[in-house]
């Protein structure tokens, strides 16, 4: 059963001069075994939505249900829901508190009563799947590089063996190979049956690895569809602040000259289509 968000709205600081409407009637569904990206410009409501997906925030209006359990102020076992949906924060430091990386990763399963060999297995699995260097297990989590901090944060959530994983801006600060590795990891976890949600302002990365993409603009969902459909939509309905990847701008430019190319970042497909439509050989 999926995570179902229906018509969700959220306003911070209601009734004060600092009141701000972060989400306005957003709907999205996340199934296990699919990778959904939430894309939008800064302040569009991505993190607010992410925090509703694991019941860290309770819906003020609209609804969120996780595998059939509605998230409300009265929900008895919010803790189990938060275990089911692991959330990796936008700033990994926000979730660190332990003295060593091992303790950081061990905390959640230990809290659920996992001990001994089973605990070691949970830690090994999380370290292995995130590609964290095992020699860092005794090091303080604040003392490693930005990319390693992201792996620690991810490993400490994966060690709970969640059914869903929500990653808030996981590629921020990573270099190109770090981004490729993370995309591969998200796809692997998706293929293993997890429902994976990536929050990002990077449309190019989302187009490259997602099954579906939800685009947020000023707290509202503007389009939620497969990557090709989202790319097609954005070509005619640009979203302020969302950077169009170069390949989409290139294709849009050619379309303006009546050369219709498929919406793909695959260079060979583009060359084939150009040869076909213009009779030129490259």
- By CB under 5 A, which span of 46-54, 136-144, 190-198, 268-276 interacts with Mg ion? 46-54
- 20 interacts with ligand ATP by CB under 6 A: yes
109 binds, among ligand ATP, Mg ion, none (CB under 5 to 8 A by kind): none
- 92 interacts with ligand ATP by CB under 6 A: no
Least CB distance to Mg ion at residue 237 (A): 23
Q: Could you tell me if 280 and 274 are in contact, meaning their C-beta atoms sit under 8 angstroms apart?
A: yes
Nearer to Mg ion, 45 or 59 (CB): 45
Least CB distance to ligand ATP at residue 252 (A): 24
- 37 interacts with Mg ion by CB under 5 A: no
Least CB distance to ligand ATP at residue 150 (A): 15
Least CB distance to ligand ATP at residue 12 (A): 3
Single out the residue of 3, 23, 44, 47 in contact with Mg ion (rule: CB under 5 A).
47
Nearer to ligand ATP, 127 or 153 (CB): 153
Task: Walk across the sheet containing 20-30 and list its strands.
Answer: 20-30, 3-12, 61-66, 69-70
Nearer to ligand ATP, 33 or 62 (CB): 62
Site string for Mg ion, 210-249 (x = CB under 5 A): ----------------------------------------
Site string for ligand ATP, 23-42 (x = CB under 6 A): -----------------x-x
Nearer to ligand ATP, 45 or 92 (CB): 45
Taking CB under 6 A as the criterion, which residues in 48-67 touch ligand ATP? 48
Q: Which two tokens stand for residue 63?
A: 């609804």
Q: What is the largest CA-CA distance in the chain?
A: 67
Residues of this chain that interact with ligand ATP (CB under 6 A) are 12-13, 20, 22, 40, 42-48, 90, 201
């Amino acid at each position: 059963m999926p995570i179902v968000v229906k018509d969700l709205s959220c306003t911070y600081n209601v009734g004060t001069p600092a009141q701000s409407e972060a989400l306005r009637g957003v709907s999205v569904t996340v199934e296990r075994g699919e990778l959904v990206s939430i894309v939008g410009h800064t302040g569009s409501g991505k993190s607010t939505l992410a925090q509703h997906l694991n019941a860290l925030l309770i819906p003020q209006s609209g609804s969120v249900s996780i595998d059939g359990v509605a998230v409300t102020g009265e929900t008895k076992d919010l803790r189990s829901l938060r275990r089911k949906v692991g959330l990796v924060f936008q700033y990994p430091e926000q979730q660190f508190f332990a003295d060593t990386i091992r303790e950081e990763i061990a905390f959640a399963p230990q809290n659920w009563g996992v001990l001994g060999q089973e605990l070691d297995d949970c830690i090994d699995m999380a370290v292995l799947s995130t590609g964290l260097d095992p020699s860092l297990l005794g090091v303080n989590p604040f003392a490693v590089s930005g990319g390693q901090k992201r792996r620690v944060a991810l490993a400490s959530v994966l060690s709970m063996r969640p059914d869903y994983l929500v990653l808030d801006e996981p590629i921020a600060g990573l270099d190109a190979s770090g981004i490729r590795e993370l995309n591969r990891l998200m796809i692997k976890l998706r293929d293993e049956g997890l429902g994976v949600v990536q929050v990002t302002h990077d449309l190019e990365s989302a187009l490259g690895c997602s099954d579906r993409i939800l685009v947020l603009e000023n707290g509202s969902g503007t389009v939620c569809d497969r990557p090709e459909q989202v790319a097609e939509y954005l070509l005619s309905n640009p979203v302020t602040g969302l950077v169009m990847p170069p390949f989409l701008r290139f294709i849009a430019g050619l379309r303006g000259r009546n050369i219709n190319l498929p919406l793909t970042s695959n260079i060979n497909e583009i060359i084939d289509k150009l040869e076909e439509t213009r009779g030129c050989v490259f």
